[in-house]
A and B are shown apart, each in its own frame.
Chain A
Amino acid sequence: MIRLNVNDEEIETDAEPDTALLWVLREHLGLTGTKFGCGAGMCGACTVHIDGVPSFSCLTSIDSLEGAKVTTIEGLSPDGDHPLQRAWIAEQVPQCGYCQSGQIMRAAALLEENDSPERAEILDYMSPNLCRCGTYNRIVKAVQRAAREV
């Protein structure tokens, strides 16, 4: 049994120790807001926070998470009303939406580091996360909107 702290809940899982956190979140715990895109840390759809650091859950095995706090999109805010989530809605960012949990999680880490990022800083910081629908410019607007509101 491996113990995990996910969204401030202590969880025990009987998954194999080398199982990717992504599969445990999605298929064992039913936290499907975190998405599978590539399994290789190339698309960022699986981005979660591990002790506040944006991380690829597809490349993180659960045995490395002893004592760590994992935060997923479901745990970012109590009611889905994090300033970034409100900004995402206000700017109508998502199209297919599949990458957006990962985008929001990465953007949340950015705002922790930099409370008024410039366009170029946002684009650089967000570049591990792919969006095939091409919402990047709206993501910039939404991050800046959220930054103003925080």
Chain B
Amino acid sequence: MQNPSATPPEALAPLTRRRFLQSASALTFAIGSAGLVTVSRAGASETTQEDAGTEITAWVRIDTDDRVHLVFPSTEMGQGSSTALPLILAEELDADWDKVEIDQLDRDDRSFGNPIFGNILYTAGSTAVYGYFDSLRIAGAQARRILMRAAARSWDVPVAEVTTEPGAVLHEASARRMSFGEIAALPIDDLSVPEVTEADLKPASSFRLIGSDLPRRDIPAKSTGRETYAIDVQVPDMLFAAVLRAPVEGVSAAGIEDSESLAVPGVLRVLTLPEGIAVVAERLEAALAGKDRLQVDWTGATGVLASDSEATLSDYSAALKNPTAERAVWSETGDADRAIAAADRIVEAEYLSDYAYHAQIEPMAAVASVDPDGLGAEVWVGTQTQTWTTRTITETLGTTADRVRLHAMTMGGSFGRRTALQQEYVSDALLISKEMGRPVKLIWTREDDVKNGRLRPAAAQRLRAGLTADGALSGWEHRVATPSVIAYFNALRWEQVRPKDIVSMRGSESQFYGFADMRAEHVLTGRHARLAPWRGIGASYTSFAAEAFMDELALEARSNPIDFRMALLASNPRGQRLLKRVAEMADWSRPRDQTALGVSFAGYGDSMAAGIAEIALERESGIITVQRFWTAVDAGLIVSPDNALAQIEGGIVFGLSSSLKERITISGGEVEQSNYYDYEILRANEVPEIEIHLERSEARPTGIGEVGTPMVAAAVANAFHALTGKRLRHLPFIPDRVQAALA
């Protein structure tokens, strides 16, 4: 994507109708969820836009010099959809990819929001490709037809006789050719939007861009240090701010001693914010030094938010058995209770998982420049949602969206971190800028980022299932005691979906197995930490429990873990293929000497993954080493195969890291960890060789950003059992727990 500081403002700014009409010759297209909405061109006397006050996003713009600008509606955090989404439209448009330029959508323009999330601008849940797939294709196909129609008219030939090659319309009979840019310069009188149905779209066999390994557009800048993240932004006259936030949610400052802070050369002010104390300085190092010297007397934390994570987890465990605890059925088929009661044997096990932190390497940062009247602002920030960031700005300043100039910056990782309805790193930067009358860069330190993290919740889970006399499954019950994540991080969304919380519960539906009688139930426990979606959301722990339990069941049924799952996948041939494939890849039946294999079959949403981990164990220290990991993945049609492999591999590494090491503990309401030395993530010398088979499919795409993560923990736990005969039922599998299991 373009570096915003190097791009003329008009290139990224939304087009008002007036500017739209006055801009240099270009053909522009607006898109909605059903495809193209309007077509306009410079100099046209009319557009189909009715409301002159409406700001129109030129989602597609074809310049007379043949450049095709495509606006990217999601945001980029490393997942690669800033290349993949424009590529889908370019495929149907038959654009010359080398002429395509990609611009970031920097506004809350819901005319082309994410349909999976009710058309808000929201990049999460591995949804961008499949959420936008149909509308991008249809829009691209419509735009292509408009170009063909215009060229045909100018040549005075029937439109049925013209065709396209990348970047041009052809009339083969007369050997004429007109580039898209030349067409954009024509006086086009017919700007109507043609009907296009799915039947008019390219068959997969004709894809030129989809399914090919075109390089990601963002990679050169990221290989040369030239990519600009929010933390890198510099604007003239900018101040720096560091914020000391309350150590425990909900407490406030009873007394502030700031004289030492103000004595630091370059420190200008100490400001009290709604939930913290800001030190503002001419230089970043002064702001940080001033923050270190603040002495704040925080009033004591009370009630549920002053809890300890160990007690929280045992409360959640108790809630599993408490019939009066608040519950919501997440997924149900048949009659699980009856099937389990009728079984020959009942198997039951409980699984625990700790809080986890995103650990994205770019800490929270924002640059804000509030207008002199305090009612408008320019803001540079990484965000997974232009919608909620815009809302944070308008709510903070008491203003309207037309006064917001947002720059949705490429993110240094996010994994769910920047999704919240209210974003305090944005509002703090605004409040400081407004007070100081100058632009401000707000930077969180790593310690700020850990202590004020938005965590994956801790969870206690109980699995219960019946087995018939011949070892077949008879009823499956999955109960998850954990708070609602949505209720905390987006109260507006919770009003719409309550009591079904996909963030807390995803994965527990075990949809790939087609259980005849199953129930997944959410025990809605009290919240004792600040929460957010986290890569894989609920599936990162529900699939751990379900797939570790599946191994326990297989053993109880005296079946091989692969055969047992194969039988349950009888109605899912695609799933069976993956399991068979991964068993071949890992040479599953070959006995190992010092290592052992464990299998898991999980996925994310409709994307399926079968995985096998090979582990070794250092018994004395309790350290598990994962030496190899194999996976076979079916995510439907793959838009960018090489990037899909990278995402799946990254998802597996994320899953391994969290399975083996990552754990947040809370004492007296305060996160006990501070930095990467006590919240360790997987390092290079701990990463296994990873082999991925990606199924070739023409089925609908289903997402690849998270599919690698959920299967991992159970594969490791199951390998541990194969190696030692012991079960690991508490995530992560840190050395203490490994040693305890072995004792």
- The CA of A13 and the CA of B472, in the complex, are separated in Å by 74
Interface readout for B225-245 with A: 1 if CB under 8 Å, 0 if not? 111110110100000100000
Chain A minimum-CB-distance residue to B213: A92
Is B676's CB under 8 angstroms from A30's CB?
Answer: no
Is A26's CB under 8 angstroms from B232's CB?
Answer: yes
- The CA of A128 and the CA of B683, in the complex, are separated in Å by 7
Decide if A34 is an interface residue (CB 8 Å cutoff).
yes
Decide if B685 is an interface residue (CB 8 Å cutoff).
yes
- The CA of A71 and the CA of B647, in the complex, are separated in Å by 31
Is A85's CB under 8 angstroms from B223's CB?
Answer: yes
Is B690's CB under 8 angstroms from A137's CB?
Answer: yes
Is A80's CB under 8 angstroms from B683's CB?
Answer: no
- Asked, given contacts A94-B218, A95-B80, whether A38 binds B684 with beta carbons under 8 Å apart, the answer is no
Q: How far is the CB of B715 from chain A (nearest CB, A)?
A: 16
- The CA of A101 and the CA of B229, in the complex, are separated in Å by 13
Decide if B361 is an interface residue (CB 8 Å cutoff).
yes
Interface readout for B626-666 with A: 1 if CB under 8 Å, 0 if not? 00000000000000001100110111111001000000000
Chain A minimum-CB-distance residue to B289: A16
Decide if A72 is an interface residue (CB 8 Å cutoff).
yes
Is B361's CB under 8 angstroms from A33's CB?
Answer: no
Chain A residues within an 8 Å CB radius of B222: 94, 96-97, 100
Decide if B411 is an interface residue (CB 8 Å cutoff).
yes
Of the candidates A38, A89, A98, A134, the one whose C-beta lies within 8 Å of that of B676 is A38
Chain A residues within an 8 Å CB radius of B651: 134
Q: How far is the CB of A19 from chain B (nearest CB, A)?
A: 5
Of the candidates A94, A129, A134, the one whose C-beta lies within 8 Å of that of B649 is A134
Interface residue range, chain A: 35 or more
- The CA of A122 and the CA of B689, in the complex, are separated in Å by 13
Is B215's CB under 8 angstroms from A92's CB?
Answer: yes
- Asked, given contacts A92-B216, A98-B361, A133-B78, whether A127 binds B683 with beta carbons under 8 Å apart, the answer is yes
- Asked, given contacts A123-B685, A129-B684, whether A40 binds B649 with beta carbons under 8 Å apart, the answer is no
Chain B residues within an 8 Å CB radius of A16: 265, 285
Decide if B246 is an interface residue (CB 8 Å cutoff).
no
Give B578-622 interface residues, CB cut-off 8 Å to A.
none
Chain A minimum-CB-distance residue to B535: A132
Is B77's CB under 8 angstroms from A85's CB?
Answer: no
Decide if B371 is an interface residue (CB 8 Å cutoff).
no
Is B225's CB under 8 angstroms from A73's CB?
Answer: yes
Chain A residues within an 8 Å CB radius of B227: 97
Q: How far is the CB of A102 from chain B (nearest CB, A)?
A: 9
Decide if B410 is an interface residue (CB 8 Å cutoff).
yes
Give B678-698 interface residues, CB cut-off 8 Å to A.
681-687, 689-690
Of the candidates B226, B412, B677, B684, the one whose C-beta lies within 8 Å of that of A98 is B412
Decide if B283 is an interface residue (CB 8 Å cutoff).
yes
- Asked, given contacts A98-B362, A134-B651, A135-B650, whether A40 binds B676 with beta carbons under 8 Å apart, the answer is yes
Of the candidates B80, B234, B652, the one whose C-beta lies within 8 Å of that of A30 is B234
- The CA of A140 and the CA of B686, in the complex, are separated in Å by 13
Interface readout for A70-110 with B: 1 if CB under 8 Å, 0 if not? 00111000001000010011001111111111001000000
Is B225's CB under 8 angstroms from A34's CB?
Answer: yes
Chain A residues within an 8 Å CB radius of B412: 35, 96-99
- Asked, given contacts A35-B362, A100-B223, A138-B646, whether A123 binds B684 with beta carbons under 8 Å apart, the answer is yes
Is A95's CB under 8 angstroms from B361's CB?
Answer: no
Decide if B148 is an interface residue (CB 8 Å cutoff).
no
- The CA of A98 and the CA of B653, in the complex, are separated in Å by 17
Q: How far is the CB of B622 from chain A (nearest CB, A)?
A: 20
Is A95's CB under 8 angstroms from B650's CB?
Answer: yes
Is A132's CB under 8 angstroms from B359's CB?
Answer: yes
Is B78's CB under 8 angstroms from A95's CB?
Answer: yes
Is A133's CB under 8 angstroms from B229's CB?
Answer: no
Interface readout for A23-34 with B: 1 if CB under 8 Å, 0 if not? 100111011111
Is A80's CB under 8 angstroms from B676's CB?
Answer: no
- Asked, given contacts A92-B646, A135-B646, whether A40 binds B216 with beta carbons under 8 Å apart, the answer is no
Chain A residues within an 8 Å CB radius of B223: 80, 85, 88-89, 93-94, 97, 100, 104
- The CA of A139 and the CA of B359, in the complex, are separated in Å by 20
Decide if A2 is an interface residue (CB 8 Å cutoff).
no
- The CA of A98 and the CA of B232, in the complex, are separated in Å by 11
- The CA of A35 and the CA of B232, in the complex, are separated in Å by 8
Decide if B187 is an interface residue (CB 8 Å cutoff).
no
Decide if A53 is an interface residue (CB 8 Å cutoff).
no
Chain B minimum-CB-distance residue to A45: B361
Is A88's CB under 8 angstroms from B219's CB?
Answer: yes
Among A97, A126, A138, chain B packs the most CB atoms within 10 A around the CB of: A97
Beyond the given pairs A36-B231, A138-B649, 4 more chain A to chain B contacts, judged by CB atoms under 8 angstroms and listed by A's residue number, are A35-B361, A35-B362, A39-B445, A96-B413
A/B interface sample: 14 pairs, CB < 8 A = A40-B446, A40-B675, A89-B223, A94-B219, A94-B222, A95-B79, A96-B78, A96-B360, A97-B222, A98-B362, A130-B683, A134-B649, A135-B650, A137-B689
* For the complex of A and B, 4 pairs with smallest distance between CB atoms: A33-B225, A97-B222, A134-B653, A98-B412
